[in-house]
Amino acid sequence: MTFEVINNPEFLRHSGFTQSEFKQLDALYLRAAAAKVLNYRSVECDFDEGVVSYTYHIAETQPPYLRFVISKTGPRTIMYELFQAKKGRIAKSGVFSRVVQRLQEEIEQLL
């Protein structure tokens, strides 16, 4: 019998929303703001529920256009969801990069 060591760096990674992930969301907003497509953003945190929401607005007075929601669903599990106005949830995954890719596609359509 032989034992094979499986190296999974994601398992050792600190669970939670990282600063670099926040910077990716912010960079998408700044790019859209430079093109004058999105003009307002808001970030809401509910520490008791373990939910963070990063919301993109076309204008401050208009309802949210895109909402990126990060929720802690377990001790080491984070769920990422993307909601769009009038469509509802358009992406959901436990992998940050998948939902950010969809967010990027939606912003690209506005540009």
**For 73, phi and psi rounded to 5 degrees?**
-105, -10
Q: Is the pTM of this model over 0.85?
A: no
Relative orientation angle of helices 96-110 and 19-34, to the nearest 10 degrees: 10
Residue 59 pLDDT: 85
pLDDT digits (tens, 9 = 90+) for 12-64: 455 567 888 889 999 999 999 999 998 999 999 888 888 999 999 988 888 88
**Beta 51-57 vs 78-84: how paired, if at all?**
unpaired
- Lookup: tokens for 36: 């004058």
